[in-house]
Amino acid sequence: MDEVLTADDKKYIYNLLADEFIQGLGAKYLGKYEQKILSKKILDNIGKSQTWGEVINFIDDFSKTYSFFQPAVSVFKAKINHGTEAQIINKLETYIKSSPAVN
Amino acid sequence: MADVVVPEIATSAKVETRHAAAAILGETRAQQEDVLKIQTLRQEKEGQGMFRAVSGREQEAVAEPDFYDIDRAEAVRIRESGRCTKDSSEQKTINERAKNLKINADVLKEIYEQGDLSPATIEAISHVLAKIPGFYTAIASHFPGQTPESVQLALKNGTVDNITGLREIIESHLKSDGMKQRLAKIFSQVGYKGEEIDNLSADIETLEDDIKQKEEAISKEKQRRQQAVDYVKKNPTELTNTGDAITALDQTAKELGLNINNLSIQYIEQQKNSIEARYSELIKQRNHPNYSQETEDSLKVKLDNYKQLENYYKEIIAPIKEAGNLSKLDIYKLSQLTESELIVSIVDQKQLNKDKNTLISKRHDRKSLQEKYEGNVNSTLERSIKGYFQEVILTEARENAQAEARKKEEDKTNEEGREKKTEDLLDNFMKLSFFKWNYDTKAHGQAVDKWDDTWIKDTVHAIKSHGPEGMARILIQRLLNQRGSLPTDIRDNIEEVLKKINKDSPGDPLTALSGESLRKIGTKFVPILFGAAKARGYSLERFKLTGPQAEAMMANYGPDFWDKINENFTKFNQEAEKVFGQLNIAGGLGRKIRQELSADNIMQNKLAFLLKLLGILGVVGLSTLLPGIGPLLAVGGLAGGAAAIGGLKSKS
């Protein structure tokens, strides 16, 4: 299910990518110009993205060079699959409840 | 971190292309300030705003300097002020070079003054950079999908914009402090003679204009003369009469010492009347002793000539003039002039030749200066950029490599230290977090309420969905969550250790630990958790696992996992036995224990409390965390055994 992005979605995407970017800065050496280029690419690509699929394609490709964006890919993929995920969680909860308790 | 051992500088660190790339890109090590700045941006402007600020778009939105336009304007200005107009290929080349030179000089000044770079400069500099394999190889390593050859080609062809970000790198490279100093040096080394060149150009311009005007005038007159000659040839009869009249007039004028070109009818009449009056007077005096027949004859000839001149003028010239047909006279006169007579009538030929020689000399001087400067700039620039790369970039690359090696060593040392401290923390306090703690109003302090069996059971089950790393996170997080409920002294000790694990964020030791460390910690402490669960009466026989889960546990904790649990279970019981005699550890702590573990007692007799507590929980090695009481702890188990504490009853 590839939903069309809303303004809130984009805000969420930018915020998450910003957090990953900051994490990346702490772990990897990024020069000022590299930061600038990265930021421009993100603004350009997210700006023109219409769907979650486009966002994921871009970040997936991007994270091959900048691995610190990898968690964002998982999160975005989860966003797409949130319906399926809810079902899985329900099943898990049922399973956990059926596990043996302390005597 | 004060307790971190910093290893010696790794001088043998291997310098790789990526290190050079980092140096070219102006990357520096661990720019904490930058990170903090960006974090602040993130908080203030949210994600998109942060990216806009970092990318520079925010500033661009306010006032984006468009150096393309600036350059175009500059190009137009130079083109329009082109000083040499002579249409020859050589002069064109000189003009072109003068123009380029002007651009180069301006651009170099721009770089030096940290201005914006024009595409022409980027192109010129790129050509030089294309000759430095270290540069384009380093750049290529930074851009996914690019090869050294493709980057070199882009630099060579001036198509830097084909590789996103390359222009910025070149600009940053040129505008770096090191490069700026080098460019300043270029200016002083090449001895830029801009003013001298400009002055020469101004002189050349003046001379060229002057010569041009004169030559144009000559050319125009030559053209007119040629037209006149052609006209005379085509219309011989028409002009013959005029020509004969002019010839006669001229001859008569010459006899009178006059110039035909300056004659006017008024002058002729005035002269004629004057001579006529003198002649009449002379005739009257023929009998006078001073009379001269010779004078009379001379006056008579003169008078006749003037009369003839007057007649010629009135009969031939005046009608031509009145008819407005003087052009025929001009045409005739022009057709009779030789070329040199014609030029002399317009310009001073000697001065013109002199000016031409001066112009050639000044052009030569300017050309020499330009070539010298241009050559100096080009060779010095190339040498300088190459030198900069060798001395600065490669040095920085070496430093980057060394710093990376050093950081790796530091990280390893720090990580080992953090891992050990976390293990100590869990060794000493993990079991305290298995309790529920409450405020005891009678004891006026935090006291143990009971074992948190629900949490223990849930955590045991968490192993089905978490690996050792995840389990370590759960155990550490539990201790962090519980520390606020623990007695003050214990809490303070925990806080102190946390500060050593993560100086910047003591409340979050997890971020300071690597996945590998967490995995080791989980492997060590999960069996202890299971041992405690078994001691609390949890039947591990009922702990069901699926095939894959069992395989995962085997892989994560080893085939002796269950043996480890039993060891911990036995140890747990033995220690409790030692401390409490026949007391049953599974029955919960009674009021007396709570009193013993209360804050009051802790304050009154910290040592006794710790000994008891250690006895209960099987704690060892607390001396590392509570300096000064280490030697006494060795007897903790025995002393604890003497303590008569509440009745515990085993359920197992």
pLDDT digits (tens, 9 = 90+) for B350-359: 888 888 889 8
Contact B498, B507 (CB under 8 A): yes
Q: How far is A62 from chain B (nearest CA, A)?
A: 10
Q: How far is B434 from chain A (nearest CA, A)?
A: 15
- Say what the pLDDT of residue B11 is: 44
> Of B354, B398, B338, B330, nearest to B23 (Cα)?
B398
- Say what the pLDDT of residue B277 is: 92
How many helices (H) and strands (E) in chain B? 30, 2
Most confident of B100-109, B131-140, B431-440, B571-580: B431-440
Q: Give percent of chain B above pLDDT 70.
A: 57
Residues in A closer than 8 angstroms to B453, CB to CB, are 102
> Of B137, B157, B160, nearest to B149 (Cα)?
B137
Count Cβ neighbours within 10 Å for each residue of B327-344 and write b for 16 or more, e otherwise: ebbebbbbbebeeeeebe
pLDDT band at B18 (very low <50, low <70, confident <90, very high): low
Nearest CA in chain B to A66: B144
Residues in A closer than 8 angstroms to B51, CB to CB, are 14, 17-18, 21, 39, 42-43
Most confident of B22-36, B85-99, B238-252, B460-474: B460-474
- Say what the pLDDT of residue A41 is: 85
Contact B234, B298 (CB under 8 A): no
Residue B528 has pLDDT above 80, yes or no: yes
- Say what the pLDDT of residue B42 is: 86
- Say what the pLDDT of residue A99 is: 43
Going by the DSSP 8-state scheme, the letter that residue A51 receives in this structure is B
Does A31 contact B538 at a Cβ distance shorter than 8 Å?
no
Least confident among B99-103, B299-303, B387-391: B99-103
CB-closest option in A29, A33, A99 to B172: A33
Does B164 contact A37 at a Cβ distance shorter than 8 Å?
yes
Nearest CA in chain B to A15: B47
Contact B622, B490 (CB under 8 A): no
- Say what the pLDDT of residue B472 is: 92
A27-59 pLDDT, tens digit each: 655 666 667 778 888 998 998 888 888 888 888
- Say what the pLDDT of residue B155 is: 84
Residue B527 has pLDDT above 90, yes or no: no
CB-closest option in A14, A33, A92 to B26: A33
pLDDT band at A77 (very low <50, low <70, confident <90, very high): confident
B447-474 mean pLDDT: 86
**Residue B61 burial by Cβ neighbours in a 10 Å radius (0-12, 13-18, 19+):** exposed
Contact B167, B160 (CB under 8 A): yes
Residue B428 has pLDDT above 60, yes or no: yes
Most confident of B45-49, B117-121, B256-260: B45-49
CB-closest option in A18, A34, A39 to B25: A34
Q: How far is B173 from chain A (nearest CA, A)?
A: 11
B170-202 pLDDT, tens digit each: 777 666 666 666 666 665 555 555 667 778 888
Most confident of B19-33, B333-347, B547-561: B547-561
Interface predicted TM-score (ipTM) over 0.85: no
Least confident among B72-86, B314-328, B599-613: B72-86
B51-81 pLDDT, tens digit each: 888 887 665 443 332 222 223 333 334 334 4
Least confident among B105-119, B338-352, B387-401: B105-119
Residue B228 has pLDDT above 90, yes or no: no
- How many Å apart are CA A23 and CA A88, to the nearest integer? 30
Higher pLDDT, B504 or A91: B504
Least confident among A59-68, B223-232, B364-373, B487-496: B223-232
Which of A38, A59, A89, A103 should one mutate to test binding to chain B, selecting the residue with the greatest count of B CBs within 10 A? A103
Residue B425 CB coordination number (10 Å): 22
pLDDT band at B9 (very low <50, low <70, confident <90, very high): very low
Does B457 contact A101 at a Cβ distance shorter than 8 Å?
yes
Does B51 contact A29 at a Cβ distance shorter than 8 Å?
no
> Of B442, B509, B452, B462, nearest to B482 (Cα)?
B452
- How many Å apart are CA B427 and CA B494, to the nearest integer? 12
CB-closest option in B22, B38, B543 to A31: B22
- Say what the pLDDT of residue A18 is: 92
Q: Give me Rg for the CA atoms of chain A.
A: 17
Distances (CA, A) of B348 to A75, B215, B343, B360: 91, 11, 8, 19
B461-490 mean pLDDT: 85
- How many Å apart are CA B579 and CA B638, to the nearest integer? 7
Nearest CA in chain A to B651: A103
B230-255 mean pLDDT: 67
Higher pLDDT, B548 or B111: B548
- How many Å apart are CA A20 and CA B544, to the nearest integer? 38
- Say what the pLDDT of residue B627 is: 33
Does B27 contact A10 at a Cβ distance shorter than 8 Å?
no
Question: pTM of this prediction?
Answer: 0.33
Nearest CA in chain A to B172: A33
Does B544 contact A100 at a Cβ distance shorter than 8 Å?
yes
- Say what the pLDDT of residue B471 is: 92
Residues in B closer than 8 angstroms to A17, CB to CB, are 47, 51
Residue B534 CB coordination number (10 Å): 21
Contact status of A100 with chain B (Cβ, < 8 Å): yes
**How does the average pLDDT of chain B come out, rounded?**
68
Residue A91 has pLDDT above 70, yes or no: no
Contact B637, B615 (CB under 8 A): yes
> Of B438, B243, B219, nearest to B336 (Cα)?
B243
- Say what the pLDDT of residue B112 is: 56
pLDDT band at B106 (very low <50, low <70, confident <90, very high): low
- Say what the pLDDT of residue B227 is: 72
DSSP B377-421: HHHHHHHHHHHHIIIIIHHHHHHHHHHHHHHHHHHHHHHHHHHHH
Contact status of A2 with chain B (Cβ, < 8 Å): no
Q: How far is B491 from chain A (nearest CA, A)?
A: 29
B588-595 mean pLDDT: 44
Residues in B closer than 8 angstroms to A32, CB to CB, are 26, 34, 172
Residues in B closer than 8 angstroms to A97, CB to CB, are none
Residue B97 has pLDDT above 60, yes or no: no
Which of A40, A44, A70, A76 should one mutate to test binding to chain B, selecting the residue with the greatest count of B CBs within 10 A? A40
Least confident among B203-207, B535-539, B595-599: B595-599
Does B55 contact A39 at a Cβ distance shorter than 8 Å?
yes
Q: For residue B158, what are the contacts with CB-CB under 8 A and spacing of at least 6?
A: B119, B122, B123, B126, B127
Contact status of A58 with chain B (Cβ, < 8 Å): no
Q: How far is CA B6 from the centre of its chain?
A: 34
- Say what the pLDDT of residue B22 is: 61
Residues in A closer than 8 angstroms to B142, CB to CB, are 34
- How many Å apart are CA B401 and CA B17, to the nearest integer? 10
Q: How far is CA B452 from the centre of its chain?
A: 60
Residues in B closer than 8 angstroms to A67, CB to CB, are none
Higher pLDDT, B387 or B130: B130
Q: For residue B51, what are the contacts with CB-CB under 8 A and spacing of at least 6?
A: A14, A17, A18, A21, A39, A42, A43
Q: What values do phi and psi take at B118, rounded to 5?
A: -85, 160
Give me A71's structure tokens. 């968690």
Q: Give percent of chain A above pLDDT 70.
A: 63
Q: What values do phi and psi take at B449, rounded to 5?
A: -95, -60
Does B48 contact A14 at a Cβ distance shorter than 8 Å?
yes
Q: Which position has the token pair 């005096």?
A: B285
3 state SS of B503 = coil
Does B38 contact A99 at a Cβ distance shorter than 8 Å?
no
Which of B33, B36, B50, B58 should one mutate to test binding to chain A, selecting the residue with the greatest count of A CBs within 10 A? B50
